[in-house]
Amino acid sequence: MNEKYKVAAYLRLSQEDGDKDVSDSIVSQKSIINKKVEELGEDFYIVDYYIDDGYTGLNTDRPDFQRMLNDLETGIVNTIITKDLSRLSRNSFEANYFIELYFLERNIRYISVLDNVDTGVKNSNNDMIQFKTLINDWYSKDISRKIKSSVWARKEKGMFVGAIAPYGYRKGKEDKHKLEINKAEARIVKRIFEECSSRKIYKRNNCRITK
C-alpha cells in the first residue's frame, strides 16, 4: 500500500450550517469525500473520519478537529479533505491561518472538494481562498443574527424559548412554547413558599437570615 497521501476526512455540521438541508448532512459529506478519494487514485487512502456533529465553525474548539491536529503532528495523517471550506472553519482568520500557514509549514495537503481547492497543485481557485472564507464568515454571523432576532421576537410574544421548563412547569404537549403546570412539582413549590412565608426574615448586611 502506498502511504504517500494519508487522508484525514474531516466532517462538521451545526445549526449555523443549515442542518435541515440534506446536502450538508454528515452522510452526504462522507459520500462526497469518498468519491473524491477514489478519483484521486491509489496514492490516496482515508486513515480516519474526523466528525464534529453539532459544533460551530466559528472556532476550532471541537473534539475531533483537535484529534485531527494531533494526528497531523504525529504523522498519522498528512492530507486533509473536506466537502467545502466552511466545514474546516467559518472563521476567516482561523481558516486562512490553517490553510496558508499551519498546513503549509507542516507540508500538509488540503483539499476542499466543492471549492475545487487543492494546495498540492497549482490551481487558480487557491487564490480565491481568502475571499471564500470571508464570505463563509459573513454568512455564519448573518445566520446568528437572524436566530437571535427570531428568539427575541418569540419572547416579546410571551412564548417560552428555553430548552428546559422551570421546576413546577412542563412544556405544553401541543405547543412547546407554552408552559403548563406540573401538578406534582407544583405541590412542592407551594410548600416551599408556605414554609418560607411562615418564618421571620431579617436583613443584615444584604444577607437574608431566617429564624
The domain in which residue 183 lies consists of 169-210
Residue 60: closest CA among 103, 19, 91: 91
Residue whose entry in the numeric block shows the C-alpha cell 448573518: 142
In a domain, 196, yes or no: yes
Domain annotation covers residue 205: yes
pLDDT tens track for 183-207? 888 788 888 887 787 765 544 445 4
Instruction: Tell me if 75 is assigned to some domain.
Output: yes
The 8-class DSSP code of residue 168 comes to T
For CA atoms 75, 80, 85, 89, give the dihedral sign.
negative
Residues 6+ apart with CB under 8 A from 117: 85, 110, 111, 123, 125, 126, 128, 129
In a domain, 151, yes or no: no
Identify the sign of the CA torsion 98, 104, 108, 109: positive
3-state class of 44 per DSSP? strand
Q: What is the pLDDT of residue 92?
A: 86
pLDDT digits (tens, 9 = 90+) for 55-69: 988 889 999 999 999
CA distance 8 to 174: 44
- b or e along 13-46 (b: 16 or more beta carbons within 10 Å of the residue's beta carbon)? bbebbeeeeeebbbeebbebbeebbeebeeebbb
Note the pLDDT tens digit of each residue in 98-119. Answer: 998 999 999 999 999 988 899 9
Say if 150 falls within a structural domain. Answer: no
- Write the pLDDT tens digit of every residue in 124-165: 556 566 656 655 555 555 455 545 555 555 666 677 666 677
Name the 3-class secondary structure at 153. Answer: helix
pLDDT digits (tens, 9 = 90+) for 14-72: 866 654 455 568 999 999 999 999 999 999 999 999 999 989 888 899 999 999 999 99
205 and 122 both lie in a single domain: no
Whether 157 is in a domain gets the answer: no
Which is more confidently placed, 78 or 131?
A: 78
The alpha carbons of the chain give a radius of gyration, in whole angstroms, of: 25
Q: Note whether residue 132 is domain-resident.
A: yes
Q: What's residue 1's pLDDT?
A: 44
pLDDT of residue 93: 84
9: pLDDT strictly greater than 90: yes
Count of beta carbons in the 10 Å neighbourhood of residue 76: 14
- Here the cell at position 208 is 437574608
